[in-house]
């Protein structure tokens, strides 16, 4: 019997920003085929965890380790982590003037695979994924996120996810600012990416995206720590009772 190893393992992670400790001992393991949802109130450290996993230099790991496919990447740069199969979809995607979405995807794909796919094959793949996300092909020739609406930016992020096929995807509040139609389309893209070969950490405030992307585990992050974990029913409890009531219960049991 084969025992699976985690694709992403976070061990007792402490992270400081400009000398202020934000994360105070986060441990988490994502195995192949798993979707984990990370929920929590504003200021709990969700985005800090996402940036620390990706290697943003502003976020200093003061204790603990981050392992990707068993390799310690705690000291690796962001581009090294990306080449090893780690992907971050930003809560607020930034514009990249002068770089078309097509060229970004082609360059990133070359960096990940070490070689170019034939242009015809690559264009076909991008078109298939763009159609899934209901994106007009004209977006591929536009500069990345320049003049895009909020929903278009999020679809462009998921297009990158489905085309690049990373091993581990960290999606930082991908649902924020989306109307119900855009939310469904983005969720369909996430579900199309999910497979036994990868893992997803879906960071969100609300349960609504979890109606379309069903997580195996839900974790509550508060005051820099994961204070409770459970199945999808935990998200439903948060929706019904709110963060404060659930956190009060957690504190009373501590």
pLDDT band at 253 (very low <50, low <70, confident <90, very high): low
Cα gap 57→141, rounded to integer Å: 31
Residue carrying the six token digits 């820099």: 224
Cα gap 139→135, rounded to integer Å: 7
- The domain locations on the chain are 8-253
200-248 per-position pLDDT tens digit: 999 998 888 999 999 999 999 998 999 999 999 999 988 888 888 877 8
Mean pLDDT of the chain: 90
C-beta of residue 236 within 8 angstroms of C-beta of residue 206? no
Look at residue 30 and give its three-state secondary structure.
strand
Record the pTM: 0.91
pLDDT at 107 over 70: yes
Residue 239 CA neighbour count, 13 Å, CB half: 13
In this predicted structure, what is the pLDDT of residue 2?
47
Mean pLDDT, residues 124-128 taken together: 87
pLDDT at 57 over 90: yes
C-beta of residue 169 within 8 angstroms of C-beta of residue 193? yes
Maximum distance among all Cα pairs of the chain, rounded to whole angstroms? 60
CB-based contacts of 184: which residues, under 8 Å, 6+ apart?
Answer: 212
pLDDT band at 1 (very low <50, low <70, confident <90, very high): very low
Cα gap 50→73, rounded to integer Å: 14
Instruction: Tell me which fold the domain 8-253 belongs to.
Output: Rossmann fold (3.40.50)
In this predicted structure, what is the pLDDT of residue 214?
94
What Å distances lie between residue 46 and 53, 102, 123, 156, 204, CA to CA?
11, 30, 35, 22, 8
In this predicted structure, what is the pLDDT of residue 117?
67
In this predicted structure, what is the pLDDT of residue 80?
94
133-165 per-position pLDDT tens digit: 888 888 889 988 888 888 889 999 999 999 889
Mean pLDDT, residues 121-131 taken together: 86
Beta bridge partners of 200: 35, 169
């Amino acid at each position: 019997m084969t025992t699976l190893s985690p694709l992403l393992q976070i061990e007792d992670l402490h992270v400081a920003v400009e000398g202020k400790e934000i994360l105070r001992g986060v441990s988490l393991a994502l195995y192949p085929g798993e979707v984990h949802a990370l929920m929590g109130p504003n200021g709990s450290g969700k985005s800090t965890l996402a940036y620390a996993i990706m290697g943003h230099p502003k976020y200093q790991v003061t204790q603990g380790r981050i392992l990707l496919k068993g390799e310690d990447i705690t000291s690796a740069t962001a581009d090294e982590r990306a080449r090893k199969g780690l992907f971050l979809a930003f809560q607020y995607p930034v514009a990249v003037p002068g770089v078309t979405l097509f060229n970004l995807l082609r360059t990133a794909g070359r960096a990940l695979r070490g070689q170019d796919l034939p242009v015809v094959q690559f264009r076909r793949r991008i078109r298939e994924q763009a159609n899934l996300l209901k994106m007009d092909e004209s977006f591929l020739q536009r500069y990345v996120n320049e003049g895009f609406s909020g929903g278009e930016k999020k679809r462009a992020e998921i297009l990158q996810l489905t085309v690049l096929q990373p091993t581990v995807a960290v999606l930082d509040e991908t649902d924020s600012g989306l109307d119900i139609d855009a939310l469904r389309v983005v969720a369909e893209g996430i579900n199309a990416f999910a497979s036994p070969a990868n893992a997803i950490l879906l960071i969100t405030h609300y349960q609504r995206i979890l109606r379309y992307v069903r997580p195996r585990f839900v974790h509550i992050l508060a005051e820099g720590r994961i204070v409770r974990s459970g199945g999808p029913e935990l998200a439903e409890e948060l929706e019904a009772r709110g963060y404060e009531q659930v956190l009060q219960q957690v504190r009373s049991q501590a």
